[in-house]
Structure 1
Amino acid sequence: MDVISVLAPVIFVIGLLLTLFGLRQSRWVPRIRDENRKLRPWIFGLLAVLLARYLIWRLTQTLPPFEWSFVGLWPYLFLLFELASVAMTLITYVTLSRHTNRTPEVERGLPLLKARPAYKVALLIPTYNEPLVVLERTILGALVQDYPDVQVWVLDDGKRDWLRDYCAAAGVSYATRVGNAGAKAGNMNAGLASIRATGFEPDFLGVLDADFVATPGFIRRCLALHLLNDNAGIVQTPQHFFNPDPIQMNLALSGMAPDEQRFFFDELLPGRDGWGTAFCCGTSSVIRTAAVDAIGGFPMDSVTEDMLMSMRMREAGYETLYLNEPLTTGLAPEGLGEYIVQRHRWCLGLMQIIRDHYNPLSRRHRLRLMDRVHLLDTFMYWALSFPTRYLFMAAPVFYWLTGLLVIQADMPSMMVYLLPWLVLHMTAMTWITRGSLQPVLNDVTQLLIAPAAIHATFTGLLSNKKHKFAVTPKGLTGTEITIDWRALTPVLIFLALNLLGLVLALMPQVQPELDSAPRLVNLFWIVVNVLVLSMTAAACVELPRQRTQERFDSGDQRAHLVLGSSSLPVAVRDLSLGGCSLALDIALPDSGSSTAPVTLRFAAHESYRVLRVRAGVVDGRSVLGCRFVDLDLDQQQNLVRRIYGAGDGRLRHDNDTLGLLGTMFRRLFKPSAD
């Protein structure tokens, strides 16, 4: 036996303990800092060696004789999807072996940016059907940019008179067009033409989706990076969210679990940037106008125009750079149906790009090797990882029905070849990602998206018809618990199959000739499947969202509540554009609501009129729930600066894996909102 074989059980125990009991939070475990990136290739190189070792064993010692029957083909079908998973994992290791941090570069560029004549910037806000409560904060955030000569343009494909009037009152430019050809890309092309028709020729175009709020430094910091990189066509920044997505909401994980995109924006995109293959993500970017002109405008032949734009710019000699700073905060999809529709569009757009423009194996284009590798990886993720998830849900059930193993191996061999890689993979990814990639939660997400991803893959590859751009609805609220039966139905089918398999597993007379070791392995596998599927079913029960504006923890900011001639010191517990929660150290004479507005003063130059809507006692302090009234434009802008100015107005998550899994498990037995 080799050394790894002897140490396999020890590696398993140590890795499992480190993964579950807060490896990311341990002070004695060093973090891979951006200035010490040499460690990354060694970590992922070791993982690649262990995975290759497992793969050689898998291909040479675990396959039954080939035969042309369903039972005979089943292990090879499983192997085919397993090989795709191995390929994606190896590409991920290569990607994560690099990691960029462009903040020092931005700091070097800021003095140079200040010393030169100001660039002309048009900040575009394309919109279609978003309500004012969503658009208002986006427009206000755009207005408080701290870089000169920025024109804010609202591009309204919904042709709404009330929005034109609001823009006029707020002092921003408004444009619309005839028809809606080309969806978002067509809207921005028409908007750029309208801007130029006024005589304003922008050097750069900032792009914000209608539900994303920019910090004051968004334009300035992106331009500093552009200034130092003449070949930069796009500077992309991450997307953060100030509300829980449907999975976080429905599983009661708000503030605990990372949103689905955290791993992508915090780890994967910095890795791709290190390889020169970052791409535009639709919003929160600043684009060089000359680069847009060089490719003939924003591409209108894919429903994901952002990624296609990056590919075309790369061929034209322009790069996409990634600045991993929280410069914008947006609204995550609020309903599970909307969440799935958005992912369907992403998958469909990628398939259109692969089919019509940039097949990674084709010689028709001039993309570089790593562009092709990462494009192939993205294709395999959408086209193969979701069917693989279904295959893994079906495999143990098939075992109990037929007695056929997908891996023909004994338990000691599994411990020797599979376990060292599996546990070290979990440990390394847990360490490096610092909680942005959580076990089980990722399985739940993929199971929910799987039907849409499979449908979009086949539709995008096989259908040449024009596909409509599906806008993700925003600003949704509700007061009742609902069930998304469309998402739930396939989950229930697989759950029923696995429950059937569990019943068979507990019956000794079923497949009595099978050895005890594979029986135990498949029993454990099916129990895990049942738990994951149960949590996925729970995520299909939509909990109500009652607030139209998200509240943010204010850390007990000090302020004063002016009541007539007296002034009471208060602590601001949380804050939104619509209201706030105040804590006082003295008891109030009454509770409930009041019809008389009072003044909340942060400083001599910053005060707001508030109306008390409720009162109570929390931790021995009087607590008031207040609503802002009669805010003028300056006051609204001040609130935007206070809430979003430092990039802190976003949902956070902690790194407690065990706590997160415990909350998910408890959610199975408490299917209602608190």
Structure 2
Amino acid sequence: MKGKGIIPRLGTPVMVILWLMLLAPILFLASVPTSIAVQGLLSLVTLGLLLILKPFVPISLPLRFSMLAIAGFFTLRYWLWRLTETLPSPEEPISLAAALVLFGAETFTVGLFFLTALVTADPTEPKPPARLRLKDAPTVDILVPSYNEPDELLAVTLAAAKQINYPKDKVTVVLCDDGGTDQRCNHSNPDIARESKARRVRLQALCRELDVVYSTRARNESAKAGNLNSAMKNLNGELFLVLDADHVPSRDFLARTVGYFVDNPRLFLVQTPHFFINRDPIERNLALPETCPSENEMFYTTIHRGLDRLGGAFFCGSAALLRRRAVDEVGGISGETITEDAETALDIHSRGWESMYLDQAMIGGLQPETFASFIQQRGRWATGMIQMLILKNPLFRSGLSMTQRLCYLNSMSFWLFPLIRMTFLLSPLFYMFFGLEIFVVSSTEVLVYILPYLLIGFLIQNSLFSNVRWPQISEVYEIAQTPYLLRAIIGTVLRPRAASFKVTVKEEELDHAFLSPIFLPLLGLALLMLAGLIAGAYRWVAFPGDRTVVLLVGGWNLYNFVLTSYALRSVFERPWRLVKPRTAVSVPATLNVDTGDARTRPLSATIVSAGSKSMVLSLEGDTRDSDGKVVLNDTSIGNAIEICPSLPNAPDMERPLPATVSSVKSGIDGMTLTVDITRKNMIPASRLAAYVTYGDSSRWTYFRKGRTKRRGLVAGLAFVLHRGILSMPRNIFDLLSEPARRKAELQMDTDLPIRESSNVVPVREQPADPAAKTSDDEEGYLEVGS
């Protein structure tokens, strides 16, 4: 059983040999011709075997290989059947051209299936922390690149970086500010120049107060790669940790990662997962349940562990520790493409260095808040990966192992999905609109070839990713992105060096419902699918002899329309405020309330949310003082208070924090108090927020593993189809009511709907100076902590 020592873990060469040994009999069996009846029986047997094996796939490596081999056999058999028996005659060149486009897309998905099977067949097991002697601890630079992020966001990230558990004389935190460069400060636009100068002054002051190094440069060249390279010219740490401006690290980040570099001198990278404290806009706008795993979990929980097994774990831009010597060997962070992270990993891998993926989330980041920002981010990723595929194709890159080539090819090729997805969406319309014969097939062949092939694909996806992705949710995500990313992909293919880096906006304020300004392409796609249904209805009436074909192709188009209708919900921005968000805490505190009579009254409270600009506290008991006077009530807005948190193991956090009451809500369980923090007190508030909210990585482990609920294949399909059908009238209503809603919003503010989320994860404190601890053998080790 996997992970229990009954079978040995397979090394990369052994696994490749096994795949090659399996390939020969699979190819032979797949090419054997059979009758329709035999093929039907074969389909039933194949589906039956996969259903029997499915429950054991997560726990048994041999059975997982068996399931993939069976699915691979049927997939190849389907592909050979499509190639040899279903393409139209060359005497119909237009139909043949349309059919070849569809067959080409299917061929791509078949190839990607085998690549994905190779990557995900045997993901690495969780790794224990590598113990690190304090005397062996290498020097580390922590780099936080920034461009246009708010000061308050940067303050929390930098404060958390300063709190990381590591010998203080061996770590340097650097803010790499690309928003205050000389080029921007001397910009021809006076508004840009003025704001850039002011930003530089503010951030320099922020860095002085936090004891952080401020770095900027003369010109904004090569985007993030150039920013990091410029900062590193003045640094000499043996390792460096890259953190996006919104990626707040936990205190145990270096304690869990640095030891691997000491143990393995050829290791250049330890990549960790990106965990997000908010939901992405598609997840939110589709109203997916909180128990539905986030999109990125499929990559960070399963796929990247598979890449790690094959030696292809790559740099994801943040939450990663790198060896400076390896990066210097390739001339610094690579900048030929706009995906500098994966490109850097590719360049270093080709020099023979090794990488590692550690499946332990130790940062809390922010997803883009709006659909437009989400699309901008994904467009940058897609563009960069296609640039790499064209300019630095891994298949022809010397120095890479065969499995590394396949890993990179798999990761890059995935981003061609807009071309493939659009082909699958438009193919039924070739027949509905123009009567083109996109494949030659009977209804019986549909039942014994096409339907089993689709079901097998769904079964494999659900088996490999059942813990991290519900069935068909990824298809909805892809459809939502397709009309936007398609243009970026085509533009990159035509002009691979013309792409420009666009920074994703973070910490946007989504305080009201609205229709995304980029809604038209996705709406147009949905209307096109609807037009296909209307054309199908016309063909049903006008051409009675073609009703079998209309029924088959129309069913495909109907399925596409349902998924597209559900995906269209992504453009209707709907803010949800969670009562207990992922950053909820439970920290005892004392409130000193200024009642205006030259006296302060202490009250017991609990901090339930901490940030650099505001905090939320709950008071369950009486809000009267010892004299019986009411200290806080619904009229206390504007009152000055002091927050005194109780953190015995972090005495520097217990200093009084001045604040002003901005909201008071009374309920049966007590009172909820929201307070504002002035910029003057932003630094102590940021330090407190970094410690109590982001300091313990076990919080993110809890959400990644404890807040997911499996959905079987049937339940998952039913969920998506049901949501898709319900979305049709909702889409019409929201589109028609948008003008009236906009007019109403100009006249009044709207309250945010509230949704329940997860339970609070208690704050687990660490000693004030864990690095000073020693083990029983008096050999000083860096403690992991949480």
**Normalised by the shorter chain, which TM-score bucket?**
0.7 to 0.9
Task: Look up the equivalent residue of 2:690 and give its one-letter code.
Answer: V
Say whether residues 1:513 and 2:513 are aligned partners.
no
State the SS of the aligned residue for 1:552.
Answer: coil
Q: Which residue of 2 aligns with 1:198?
A: none
Counterpart contact for 1:8–1:419, Cα < 8 Å = no
Larger displacement relative to structure 2 (428-437 or 41-50): 428-437
Q: Which residue of 2 aligns with 1:422?
A: 454
Q: Which of the numbers 553, 572, 585 marks the counterpart of 1:541?
A: 572
Q: Which of the numbers 400, 406, 416 marks the counterpart of 2:438?
A: 406
Q: Which residue of 2 aligns with 1:597?
A: 641
Task: Look up the equivalent residue of 2:634 and give its one-letter code.
Answer: S
Q: Which of the numbers 584, 606, 619 marks the counterpart of 2:620?
A: 584
Question: CA 1:172–1:8 in structure 2 vs 1: closer, same or farther (change >3 Å)?
Answer: same
CA distance in 2, matches of 1:185, 1:591: 51
Task: Look up the equivalent residue of 1:597 and give its one-letter code.
Answer: I
Q: Which of the numbers 621, 624, 647 marks the counterpart of 2:669?
A: 621
CA distance in 2, matches of 1:350, 1:521: 36
Q: How does 1:24-173 map to 2 (within 5 A)?
A: 29=55, 32=58, 37-104=61-128, 106=129, 109-110=130-131, 113-114=132-133, 116-148=135-167, 149-159=170-180, 160-173=200-213
CA distance in 1, matches of 2:387, 2:315: 16
CA distance in 2, matches of 1:2, 1:503: 35
The C-alpha deviation readout for 1:344-403, integer Å capped at 9, x for no partner, is: 2222222332333x22443x63322223223333343223x2122112222223333344
Say whether residues 1:175 and 2:215 are aligned partners.
yes
Counterpart contact for 2:155–2:683, Cα < 8 Å = no
Counterpart contact for 2:294–2:469, Cα < 8 Å = no
The C-alpha deviation readout for 1:550-595, integer Å capped at 9, x for no partner, is: 9535476666656689876656555545312425266987435431
Q: Which of the numbers 230, 246, 265 marks the counterpart of 1:211?
A: 246
State the SS of the aligned residue for 2:149.
Answer: coil
CA distance in 1, matches of 2:244, 2:289: 23
Larger displacement relative to structure 2 (394-403 or 296-305): 394-403
Q: Which of the numbers 492, 514, 527 marks the counterpart of 2:558?
A: 527
**Which structure's relative contact order is higher, taking Cα pairs within 8 Å and 6+ residues apart?**
1
Task: Look up the equivalent residue of 2:673 and give its one-letter code.
Answer: G
* Percent of aligned pairs with the same amino acid: 25
Aligned-pair distance for 1:8?
5.1
Q: Which residue of 2 aligns with 1:642?
A: 692
Larger displacement relative to structure 2 (214-223 or 490-499): 490-499
Q: How does 1:199-238 map to 2 (within 5 A)?
A: 201-238=236-273
Counterpart contact for 2:483–2:522, Cα < 8 Å = no
Aligned-pair distance for 1:270?
0.8
State the SS of the aligned residue for 2:248.
Answer: strand
CA distance in 2, matches of 1:632, 1:129: 18
Larger displacement relative to structure 2 (537-546 or 468-477): 537-546
CA distance in 2, matches of 1:536, 1:163: 41
State the SS of the aligned residue for 1:41.
Answer: helix
Q: Which residue of 1 aligns with 2:311?
A: 276
State the SS of the aligned residue for 1:437.
Answer: coil
Larger displacement relative to structure 2 (396-405 or 184-193): 396-405
Counterpart contact for 1:477–1:546, Cα < 8 Å = no
Q: Which residue of 2 aligns with 1:359?
A: 393
The C-alpha deviation readout for 1:399-440, integer Å capped at 9, x for no partner, is: 333445534333443333344443343234324323432344
Normalising by structure 1, we get a TM-score of 0.86
Task: Look up the equivalent residue of 1:476 and give its one-letter code.
Answer: E
Q: Which of the numbers 655, 664, 673 marks the counterpart of 2:709?
A: 655
Counterpart contact for 1:157–1:177, Cα < 8 Å = yes
State the SS of the aligned residue for 1:202.
Answer: coil
Unaligned stretches of 5+ in structure 2?
1-35, 181-199, 594-598, 625-629, 735-740, 742-751, 754-786
Question: CA 1:133–1:546 in structure 2 vs 1: closer, same or farther (change >3 Å)?
Answer: farther
Aligned-pair distance for 1:82?
0.8
Question: CA 1:207–1:501 in structure 2 vs 1: closer, same or farther (change >3 Å)?
Answer: same
Question: CA 1:524–1:221 in structure 2 vs 1: closer, same or farther (change >3 Å)?
Answer: same
CA distance in 2, matches of 1:162, 1:599: 26
CA distance in 1, matches of 2:364, 2:643: 29
Q: Which of the numbers 283, 301, 310 marks the counterpart of 1:248?
A: 283
Task: Look up the equivalent residue of 1:158 and give its one-letter code.
Answer: G
Q: Which residue of 1 aligns with 2:15?
A: none
Unaligned stretches of 5+ in structure 1?
24-28, 196-200
CA distance in 2, matches of 1:66, 1:203: 63
CA distance in 1, matches of 2:56, 2:284: 32
Aligned-pair distance for 1:153?
0.6
> How many residues are treated as equivalent by the alignment?
646
Larger displacement relative to structure 2 (556-565 or 406-415): 556-565
Larger displacement relative to structure 2 (213-222 or 624-633): 624-633
CA distance in 1, matches of 2:583, 2:725: 27
CA distance in 2, matches of 1:553, 1:178: 38
Q: Which of the numbers 382, 385, 391 marks the counterpart of 1:350?
A: 385
CA distance in 2, matches of 1:183, 1:420: 48
CA distance in 2, matches of 1:414, 1:229: 54
Counterpart contact for 1:504–1:510, Cα < 8 Å = no
Aligned-pair distance for 1:343?
1.9
Q: Which of the numbers 369, 379, 395 marks the counterpart of 2:402?
A: 369
CA distance in 2, matches of 1:492, 1:560: 53
Aligned-pair distance for 1:663?
6.0
Normalising by structure 2, we get a TM-score of 0.75
Question: CA 1:185–1:550 in structure 2 vs 1: closer, same or farther (change >3 Å)?
Answer: farther
CA distance in 2, matches of 1:418, 1:524: 13
Counterpart contact for 2:46–2:70, Cα < 8 Å = no
State the SS of the aligned residue for 2:122.
Answer: coil
Question: CA 1:7–1:574 in structure 2 vs 1: closer, same or farther (change >3 Å)?
Answer: farther
Q: How does 1:264-303 map to 2 (within 5 A)?
A: 264-303=299-338
State the SS of the aligned residue for 1:261.
Answer: helix
CA distance in 2, matches of 1:617, 1:54: 64
The C-alpha deviation readout for 1:625-663, integer Å capped at 9, x for no partner, is: 322546574553243122112225657653365596466
The C-alpha deviation readout for 1:94-130, integer Å capped at 9, x for no partner, is: 11112013422x2xx21xx125432111101111111
The C-alpha deviation readout for 1:169-217, integer Å capped at 9, x for no partner, is: 111111111111222111111111122xxxxx31101111111111111
CA distance in 2, matches of 1:406, 1:304: 37
CA distance in 2, matches of 1:586, 1:407: 75
- Name which one, 1 or 2, has greater alpha-carbon Rg: 2
State the SS of the aligned residue for 2:355.
Answer: strand
Larger displacement relative to structure 2 (581-590 or 454-463): 581-590
Q: Which of the numbers 442, 458, 475 marks the counterpart of 2:474?
A: 442
